């Protein structure tokens, strides 16, 4: 076989031995050897997308939900550049991706050859490992090099700090297999090790170091920020100590007795003054609300649970960084501190629900609360950046049985539809239930191509619930709202109905107006769009009323 085909087949075979099960391909000519090798492999499910940005975020969603490395393939030129936003998100969110970018051979670079850019270290420090693989040649040692490189790249994507890895592969013509070359001999066998073993096998990671025993303080707080970690130890810590658990939605720790109204409580100056913490224990990346970040600054001691080489401390208040924690000896869940927090939480929750239930027409906060509360057990919910995830943070009640994820690494608007689709595909392949996405209108418009899926491609069961307030709703609650040019520069009205978007992609469409209709709307199958129309000004006013209502409830 020709050298380009040999490299692609060997590389794909070795990656499958390492554990590769999913790959996303954006079509192109120079990447032909990789695309054909992937679709021919029986153990790899391949997804094809016509848009590289959508393809990259689809891979991101697949990897995020499955917690396994996903391969991503493109041709040379700007195709590889379109991967960059997803690479940045994978870097910050520690999601394993394997970027296989095809390239022109060295003799065509810098010559004005078509579709050629400098792809060497294209993604800079955002990747864990980069290699310019080199032009394949039928020389001794080539197969050993390709197989060992595949194992190194795989390990770099998942070990220590998971993240993206980049292999740049230069292919010379011919790019397609030629039957007449079937008898061409190589100086060494192309096959891998016997019994489907990987070229390099690695031992299991070492045991985790001993956890730190926390000091015996009464006024402790547990903060669970965004991240893919086991929330159970922190729920147990809260149960043993009585310390309030402040859990962002994508921490998946908002269960049991977690304080679901902390966002509003921490915006009440009197409450914060009465609840100065002695100790904060945080895990994941907190940062969804200014109130929570400000509260982190008030503790004299801040214990961060994470890797000492790479941990999240956005306000730089960490005093200790440890791999795990345990409750203090003789900890008790009953104290004046816990009683005070729980009384405030109960009052705030009741005030929130009473206000949101005043009208049957769906407001944005009520939609977030009811959607999260009514999803069937086993569901996956993707929360869009900007207001959807913040409305979940403000209104969602504590519950078990669902998994919530979002692109919180760099919190971009990019690729949200594609990420949600990829996450739903992986979730359902692993036996999970239906997928749901709560997005804003601009996020959907920004990734309309994510709705375009070919007839032969795997399709997720994914209900995309779109809040259409004709623009950028998050800015209506910020300082920019008073500027005379606000509507044009920040509001960005577009006048597009989501029904038109659904028609473009040939998807079922429903408009949802009343809260009582939500349960039956959620029962559909396949990929579909559910539109909820709201007003940006009215939504901002409701959020202010919600805060005022909670303030009165806990200040009386």
Q: What are phi and psi of 135, to 5 degrees?
A: -70, 130
At 504-547, the pLDDT tens digits run: 999 999 999 999 999 999 998 999 999 999 998 899 999 999 99
Contact 421, 478 (CB under 8 A): no
* pLDDT value at residue 544: 95
Q: 3-class SS at 29?
A: coil
What pLDDT does 473 receive? 61
Q: Which pair of tokens denotes residue 37?
A: 């090798």
Q: Are 130 and 160 in contact (CB under 8 A)?
A: no
Helix pair angle (3-18, 142-158), 10° resolution: 40
Query: Residues 348-393: pLDDT tens digits?
Result: 999 999 999 999 999 999 999 999 999 999 999 999 998 999 999 9
Angle formed at CA 366 by CA 365 and CA 370, multiple of 5 degrees: 125
What is the arithmetic mean of pLDDT over 116-134? 94
* 474 pLDDT above the threshold of 80: no
So what's the pLDDT on residue 200? Answer: 93
Give 226's DSSP letter: B
Token match 């649970």: residue?
305
Measure the CA dihedral 222/225/227/230, to 10°.
Answer: 20
**Structure tokens that stand for 180 in this block:** 């007449």
Residues whose CB falls within 8 Å of the CB of residue 259, separated by 6 or more in sequence, listed in order? 244, 245, 246, 247, 265, 341, 345
pLDDT digits (tens, 9 = 90+) for 274-285: 999 999 999 999
φ, ψ for residue 460 (rounded to 5)?
-85, 155
Q: Which helix or strand (DSSP H or E) is residue 98 part of?
A: strand 97-103
Q: Of the candidates 209, 213, 215, which has an alpha carbon nearest to the alpha carbon of residue 323?
A: 209
Q: How confident is the model at residue 85 (pLDDT cuts 50, 70, 90)?
A: very high
Cis amide prior to 174 (ω within 30 degrees): yes
Q: Which domains does the chain have, with CATH numbers?
A: 3-173 (3.40.50.970), 212-345 (3.40.50.1220), 357-555 (3.40.50.970)
In 167-317, alpha helices (H): 232-241, 262-265, 269-274, 290-296
Q: Are 221 and 344 in contact (CB under 8 A)?
A: no
pLDDT at 183 over 60: no
The closest of 236, 341, 217, 336 to 279, measured between CA atoms, is 217
Mean pLDDT of 1-22: 96
DSSP bridge pairs for 322? 305
Element (H, E) at 299: none
| DSSP strand pairing (301-305 vs 462-468) | unpaired
Joined together, the tokens standing for residue 218 give 């009464």
Task: At 283, list the tokens.
Answer: 């895990």
As a whole number of angstroms, the distance between CA 371 and CA 130 comes to: 42
Sequence-separated contacts (24+) of 109-116 with Cβ below 8 Å: 115/30, 115/75, 115/76, 115/77, 116/76, 116/77
241 token code pair: 């100590």
Interatomic CA distance for residues 430 and 427, integer angstroms: 5
Mean pLDDT of the chain: 93
Token pair for residue 401? Answer: 């049985």
% of the chain surpassing 70 pLDDT: 96
Q: How far apart are CA 72 and CA 38, in angstroms?
A: 11
- Per-residue pLDDT reduced to its tens digit, 306-356: 988 889 999 999 999 999 999 999 999 999 999 999 999 999 999 999 999
pLDDT class of 235 with cuts at 50, 70, 90? very high
Given this model, what pLDDT does residue 36 score? 97
Say how far apart CA 85 and CA 496 lie, in whole Å: 25
- Round to whole Å and give the CA distance between 379 and 509: 21
Beta strands in 341-406 (DSSP E): 380-383, 403-405
Give me 511's structure tokens: 């408009």
Compute the distance between CA of residue 183 and CA of residue 144 in angstroms, rounded to an integer. Answer: 21
Tell me the CB-side half-sphere exposure of residue 77, using CA atoms within 13 A.
13
For residue 206, what pLDDT is reported? Answer: 67
Structure tokens at 53: 């940005």
Give residue 114's pLDDT band: very low, low, confident or very high (50, 70, 90).
confident
Q: How far apart are CA 367 and CA 514, in angstroms?
A: 10
What does the pLDDT average to over 473-492?
68
- Smallest CA-to-CA distance from 551 within 339, 273, 266, 341 is with 266
pLDDT of residue 398: 96
- In this predicted structure, the answer to whether residue 264 has a pLDDT above a threshold of 70 is yes
> For 457-540, where are the E strands, in sequence order?
462-468, 509-511, 527-533
Which residues, in sequence order, are CB contacts of 444 under 8 Å at separation 6+?
416, 417, 464, 466, 498, 501, 529
pLDDT value for 483: 72
Which residues, listed in sequence order, are joined to residue 304 by a DSSP beta bridge? 282, 321
Indicate whether 184 pLDDT > 90. no
Q: What pTM value is reported for the model?
A: 0.94
Residues 6+ apart with CB under 8 A from 57: 85, 86, 89, 414, 415, 416, 417, 418, 419, 422, 447, 450
What are the structure tokens assigned to 337, written together?
């501190």
């Amino acid at each position: 076989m020709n050298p380009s085909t040999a490299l692609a087949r060997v590389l794909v075979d070795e990656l499958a031995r390492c554990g590769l099960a999913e790959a996303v391909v954006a079509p192109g000519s120079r990447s032909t050897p990789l695309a054909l090798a992937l679709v021919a492999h029986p153990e790899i499910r391949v997804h094809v997308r016509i848009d590289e940005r959508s393809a990259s975020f689809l891979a991101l969603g697949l990897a995020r939900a499955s917690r396994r490395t996903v391969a991503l393939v493109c041709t040379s030129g700007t195709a590889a550049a379109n991967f960059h936003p997803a690479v940045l998100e994978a870097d910050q969110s520690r999601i394993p991706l394997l970027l296989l970018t095809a390239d022109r051979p060295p003799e065509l670079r810098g010559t004005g050859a078509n579709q050629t850019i400098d792809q060497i270290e294209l993604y800079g420090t955002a990747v864990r490992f980069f290699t310019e693989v080199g032009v394949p040649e039928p020389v001794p040692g080539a197969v050993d090099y390709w197989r060992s490189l595949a194992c190194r790249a795989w390990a770099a994507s998942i070990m220590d700090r998971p993240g993206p890895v980049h292999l740049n592969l230069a292919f010379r013509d011919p790019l397609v297999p030629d039957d007449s070359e079937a008898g061409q001999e190589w100086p060494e066998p192309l096959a891998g090790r016997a019994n489907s073993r990987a070229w390099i096998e690695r031992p299991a990671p070492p045991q985790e170091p001993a956890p730190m025993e926390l000091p015996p303080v009464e006024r402790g707080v547990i903060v669970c920020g965004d991240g893919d970690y086991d929330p159970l130890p922190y729920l147990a810590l809260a149960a043993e100590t009585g310390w309030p658990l402040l859990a962002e939605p994508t921490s998946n720790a908002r269960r049991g007795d977690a304080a679901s109204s902390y966002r509003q409580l921490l915006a009440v100056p009197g409450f914060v003054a009465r609840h100065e913490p002695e100790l904060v224990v945080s895990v994941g990346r907190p940062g969804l609300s200014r109130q929570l970040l400000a509260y982190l600054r008030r503790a004299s001691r801040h214990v961060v649970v994470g890797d000492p080489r790479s941990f999240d401390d956005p306000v730089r208040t960490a005093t200790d960084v440890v791999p795990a924690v345990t409750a203090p000896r003789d900890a008790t869940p009953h104290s004046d501190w816990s009683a005070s927090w729980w009384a405030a939480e109960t009052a705030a929750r009741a005030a929130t629900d009473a206000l949101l239930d005043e009208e049957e027409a769906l407001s944005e906060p009520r939609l977030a609360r009811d959607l999260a509360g009514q999803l069937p057990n086993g569901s996956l919910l993707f929360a869009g950046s900007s207001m959807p995830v913040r409305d979940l943070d403000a209104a969602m009640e504590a519950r078990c049985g669902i998994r919530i994820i979002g692109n919180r690494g760099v919190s971009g608007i990019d690729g949200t539809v594609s990420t949600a689709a990829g996450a739903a595909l992986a979730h359902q392949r692993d036996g999970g239930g239906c997928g749901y996405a709560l997005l804003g209108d601009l996020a959907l418009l920004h990734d309309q191509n994510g709705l375009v899926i070919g007839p032969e491609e795997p399709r997720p069961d994914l209900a995309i619930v779109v809040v259409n307030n004709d623009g950028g709703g998050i800015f209506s609650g910020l300082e920019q709202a008073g500027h005379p040019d606000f509507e044009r520069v920040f509001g960005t009205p577009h006048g597009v109905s989501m029904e038109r978007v659904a028609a473009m992609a040939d998807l079922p469409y429903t408009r949802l107006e009343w809260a009582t209709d939500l349960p039956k709307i959620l029962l559909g199958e396949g990929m579909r769009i559910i539109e909820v129309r709201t007003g940006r000004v009215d939504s901002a006013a409701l959020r202010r009323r919600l805060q005022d209502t909670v303030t009165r409830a806990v200040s009386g």
